[in-house]
Chains A and B, each alone.
Chain A
Amino acid sequence: MKMTGIITAAALAVTSVSVSAETLKLLTWKGYAPKALVEKFEKQTGIDVEVTYSNNEEMIAKLRATRGSGFDLAQPSQDRISSVQAKYNIYQPMDYSKIKTDQIIASMLTAVKNNTNVKGKSYAAPFCYGTSGLVVNTKAAPDAKDYDALMDTNYKGRISYRLKRPTLIAMAFAKGDDPFAKYSDVDAYTELMEGVGEDLIASKHLVKNYWANGDALLELMRNGEVNVAMAWDNGGWKLHEQNPDIDFVAPTSGALGWIDTFAIPAKAKNVEGAYKWINFMLEPENAAYFTNQEKYGTASNGANEFLEPKIKANFERSFSKADIDNIKWYPPVPAKLESIEGKILDKVKAAN
């Protein structure tokens, strides 16, 4: 009796494996593959989705280590694609004929195509966008309007940011400089960033910690342990729902705008599945679900009508017309800059 039970179970297991043999290996950011959507997709297509969470740097390192295999779809930021592709050849050209491009906001698709163009071929399609700026407890830090609030002695011990390249770039803008304009001039860029590094070291004693995990930062802000932080807009909006005092503030020297994309690794096994996922995620209803949930802006064309009103309210509260015009969209990062920045960031971390 027991024995037959085990055999039946084993047989079932074998058949269920063979039924769902097709899998899609997704390398993406936390929150980019909501559970409900994954289940819906699996039901529609019969493809199993395996999700691995990561960030830009790790995505590149992973794909570089495997020479573009091991995953079927990645979601790097658009500015981190072209130079990496030119050097390591880890993605395959996007076949835009397989994407329902009418689902995508046209201007954004054009921008991404341009920015990910390597030798006449483009490598990505837009998925969502957002900005980095300040998340502020407006009661505790009413005057935090620009990135320099992160070096303000008034908020000593209540400041947090990531020790990553966006912070360097933000601080450069706050100094009145334009780091993007200096991307092509390595020496000028180095000089600018070294200055920023010195500023960060000088004001280091004001910082509570360098955050590495977004959820942990939100927890610190919720508890009032941090009042001014540099973070993504959606984090500020999420906190705003729980505590109206906390909100995302678009800095006066400009929020940093990024677009995250879909890109298919060079040796992806399930390319068809990858396109299916791209089209699925950009369907207006699904895209809207994602945005309602995660509060990131979507590249989906028709999603607007499905958005909750507070999403729109968030955006309008944080961004004036001038703020929107002032968003600094990341241009593609040329090679070499990362290692210059890396050394400066190490110096900041090690400094006393």
Chain B
Amino acid sequence: MSEYDLEVENLVRDFAAFRAVDHVNFKVEKGSFFSILGPSGCGKTTLLRMIAGFLEPNAGDIRIRNESVLGVPPNLRPVNLIFQHLSLFPMMDVKENISFGLKRRKIPQSTIDKQVDSILERVGLPEYGQKKINQLSGGQKQRVAIARALVLEPSILLLDEPLGALDLKLREQMKIELKKLQQQVGTTFVYITHDQSEALVMSDQVAVMDKGAFEQIDTPKNLYAHPKTGFVANFIGENNSFDATVSSSDPFRVKINSDMEFNARAMTGLSTGAECQLYIRPESIVINPLQNEPMNKFSVTVKNVLFDGANTKLLATIGDTGQEIMAALPQDKRFDHIQPGERLNVGVYDDACTCF
């Protein structure tokens, strides 16, 4: 017995000449929360629909609990899908929606009633059984959709950007609730989204997808700290990126203009003279660093303070070059004096400068 609920091997899917999913490989551990994160149009839905059975792959294999499900129609696969737009049945009430799948299994009505009540309880909607779908709020619809799928106790629950239609506040709240729910029921979740915060907050593992292929599969923390490709570095979290040239390989140093040189970390084999991208996260930039701290130091001219509460940022230009850089501005009164036009000394540790 493998401990994987889902294994995907070399999966390929073409639409005519266009390759939407390109040799994708991954395994999802039993009971884990697995996210697939990627920009719009990168092939997430296509991948998910193949797992659910609505699309046949052109090549590759999908195994659920060790059994290949190729050729098995969606109604016979032990997975359920929460659709991007939820797709609750408008002509049925909440209870009828949730019991729809159970009824197909010819379960006695009394058992169905019990199961529906208990799942409604679990998603926090007791007494909502008789409500019509159009009487529910967005978040309630969300929960009904999840209840409708979970009540069937699928091996895997597939979710296609289920929070996409909600407003920001509700989305933050549902993120946490979803994660809690998943831990409670212990069902394996495969969750797709283009919102990195959703993926990072909820997931045990995240796969970053671009142009139909997976760039990196890792824990949220590792993706953030150790991106393996430039795309991941750029896509996860915020990043300043600069065109750079390798000026020496030991110690590794890069130049972003004639008189700005950084000690940095090479993430791929880069030799002297090679062109590369230098990434510096806003939150790794230290304002007014200590004199004797070993780090890359340079001065910037403040252009603007972008106030956003805990997320407030500083937009500045490096030296006299006019190249823009963003730095996090901690809101602890220390830097309240900073005004546009002011010159600041900043520093960044060598480790926080990554090159691809």
Q: Do chains A and B touch in the complex (CB under 8 A)?
A: no
